Structure 1
Amino acid sequence: MKWVIPITLFEHIDLELFVMKYSFRQLEVFLAAAHFQNITRAAESLAMSQSAASSALKELENQFDIQLFDRVGKRLQLNELGRLYRPKVEAVLAQATELEHAFSKHSEVGELKVGATLTIGNYLAVGVMAQYMNTPTRPRVSLEVANTSTIARRVKDFELDIGLIEGELQSSELEVIPWRGDQLVIFCSPTHPLAAKKKISDEDLRNATWILREQGSGTRQSFERGMHGLLPNLNVLLELEHTEAIKRAVEADLGIGCLSEVVLADAFKRGSLVPLETPENRNFKRQFYFILHKQKYRSAGIDAWIGLCRALT
């Protein structure tokens, strides 16, 4: 991309200062190569020939006398300089894309790549997607559902525009924004021996057989925080990645479980599962969060998504 300045206005200025030394295409090739770590796959993703993509990347590095990748055979690995510039390039291209949409008089909100943890993705995000897409231009939303650690990693790598998580997270690269409160509930089947008790004790929790979410999930993280002091003595029969599988296992009297009240509301209404009143010293309250890369450009679409999520609360 080159900007042309009328010479009659700036005759005393060296016009070379106003010539961009890189093109948006070169930046797109850089990001694709960083993602795929292979110039052939990067070229295919941009509908370019391998030679054109390779030339664009080489020209970008030569123009500034830098090296952005370590090259091992056909594999490209971002070096320290490449990792430093990647978020800046992401931000530049995101702003350029939104400006292009504005010039074209398109909708202010565009296609969004959203990641959500299982509880949020399966029980809350779909309703937000329906509202987001219900505009005259019908912007698309892609939704990836995974555990907290996976969503955080993909937001860090700019593979997702925004993440919705249910676990605590510490990261120097991510902005963590509180969204809404939630609470875990311990539950069992109506025929389980604990179902007849008005309140259960720590001893009941220690003696129970458990069906839990897997390590790395926000739900498991919140559960372990609430069960401090008892964890080494718990009898965990199954660790499952899907909440519905846990509910089915508990309904079959394989053990008791602990999931979000959002997940269990319908089952409690039907009576297929029953909540257990836990000891007062057990705190299962938690927070849902939005996560964004700190270098991520906050587009109108991201702001609209956050607004719809808050309205849903």
Structure 2
Amino acid sequence: MRYSLRQLQVFLETARQQNISRAAASLSMSQSAASSALKELESQFDIQLFDRIGKRLQLNELGRLMLPRAQALLEQALALEADLDRHAESGPLKVGATLTIGNYLMVPLIARYMAHCASARINLEMANTAEIAEQVLNFDLDIGLIEGELQHPDLLITPWRDDELVLFCAPDHPLAAKGRLSDPDLTAVEWILREPGSGTRQVFERAMHGLLPHLNITLQLQHTETIKRAVASGLGIGCLSRIALIDAFHHRTLVPLDAPGRDFSRRLYFVQHRHKYLSAGIRRWIDICREP
């Protein structure tokens, strides 16, 4: 074999740090050793992986092409090492979830995952769909659970479960007694919605095709609970996942509305990097999420 795993480590860390000195420090190596490892990797194949801009090393086109494959190969090697050390189950799993999923679905999933292995650890990152996808692309997350649809050549988007959005308002809102809303109702009311980039907003805009330019969107908020409180205060009507509204509907602090002819159904998805090695922990997490 004309390259070593240590050389791949230096390549990946240099790409992350954009500086050989910082990469060496991160890997507990001397600068000369790290620099030699990188030079040997390039010279073995007569290639250049970085453009050198002063003291900064920036991945060139070939380096960007090699990065995900080197990352996947190194992760498989580390997983094998963990298996050989009999500690494969103890490594932390880095999971990303969009806000609705994180707030309303993640706790029971984490509990079931940890019940399978008492030593398991999960690091949970919550953000909107676009941000979770970006972190998966950068290998900052092992897997994401998202609400929105997206496409990227380096991402695998796999259906997980069905969901739907619901329009809702305060019990004393003028539309509460009406229940079924016409297009003129939808354009006359004030809206409180999730921010652009969220999966919820994506589905809302799809369902409201033809009316979007005429909607009066007065507030755009990132947090589901803030939207619910604003709507309960009578500031407008909202649109969120039914998952987030079950308790509020049960206690009548909020009431559902219907817009006949408009489709608010959607799916929730797993998002993974195409070149990410599927460890035993990731496979177990997916299996638990799919359990009834």
Structure 1 stretch displaced more, 190-199 or 133-142: 133-142
The letter of the residue matching 1:275 is: P
RMSD: 1.7
* Aligned match for 2:128, one of 147, 172, 175: 147
Matched, 1:296 2:276: yes
The structural deviation recorded for 1:292 is 1.2
Deviation at 1:278, TM superposition (A): 1.9
3-state SS of 2:110 partner = helix
Q: Distance in 2 between matches of 1:144 and 1:44?
A: 27
Answer with 87-96 or 254-263: which moved more.
87-96
- Structure 1 residue 243: deviation in Å? 0.9
**Residue 200 in structure 1 maps to residue 177 in structure 2:** no
CA distance in 1, matches of 2:115, 2:213: 49
Residue 307 of structure 1 is matched in structure 2 by: 287
Query: How far apart are the structure 2 equivalents of 1:188 and 1:44?
Result: 55
Aligned partner of residue 176 in structure 2, secondary structure: helix
Instruction: Name 1:258's counterpart in structure 2.
Output: 239
Deviation at 1:179, TM superposition (A): 0.3
What amino acid does structure 1 have at the position aligned with 2:124? Answer: L
Secondary structure in 1 aligned to 2:267? strand
1:41-94 CA-partner distances (Å, limit 9, x unpaired)? 333433334443333222322232211111212222111111111111112112
Q: Percent identity?
A: 63
Shift of 1:109: 6.8
Deviation (angstroms), 1:276: 0.8
| Partner of residue 181, structure 1 | 162
- Equivalent in the alignment of 2:204: 223
Matches within 5 A, 1:239-278: 239-278=220-259
Could you report, residue by residue, the CA deviation over 1:158-204 in whole angstroms, capped at 9, with x for unpaired residues? Answer: 22111111111111111111000000000111111111113121111
Alignment partners' CA distance in 2, 1:306 and 1:199: 38
Larger radius of gyration: 1
Count of aligned pairs: 292
Give the 3-state SS of the residue equivalent to 2:95 in structure 1.
strand
Moved over 4 A (4+): none
Deviation at 1:135, TM superposition (A): 4.3
Q: What's the counterpart of residue 164 of structure 1? A: 145
What is the match of residue 234 of structure 1? 215
Cα distance 1:254–1:96, how it changes in 2: closer, same or farther (>3 A)? same
Counterpart for residue 59 of structure 2: 78
Q: Which residue in the other structure is 1:26 paired with?
A: 7
> Which secondary structure state, in structure 2, belongs to the residue aligned with residue 164 of structure 1?
strand
Q: Which residue number corresponds to residue 267 of structure 2?
A: 287
Asked if the contact 2:89/2:117 (under 8 Å) is kept, the reply is no
Q: Which stretch of the first structure deviates more once superposed, 283-292 or 155-164? A: 155-164
**Corresponding position of 1:131:** 112
Instruction: Measure how far apart 1:23 and its partner are.
Output: 2.2
CA distance in 2, matches of 1:124, 1:169: 21
Secondary structure of residue in 2 paired with 1:114: strand
TM-score (norm 1): 0.88
After the TM superposition, which of the residue ranges 38-47 and 223-232 deviates more from structure 2? 38-47
Please say if residues 107 and 137 of structure 1, whose CA atoms lie closer than 8 Å, have aligned partners that are also in contact: no
The whole-number CA distance in structure 1 between the counterparts of 2:287 and 2:75 is 20
Q: Which range is displaced more, 221-230 or 30-39?
A: 30-39
In the alignment, which of 188, 200, 212 is matched to residue 193 of structure 2?
212
Among candidates 105, 122, 128, match of residue 103 of structure 2: 122
Contact conserved, 1:109 with 1:304, CA < 8 A, in 2? no
SS in 2 for 1:87: helix
Give the alignment's TM-score, normalised by structure 2.
Answer: 0.94
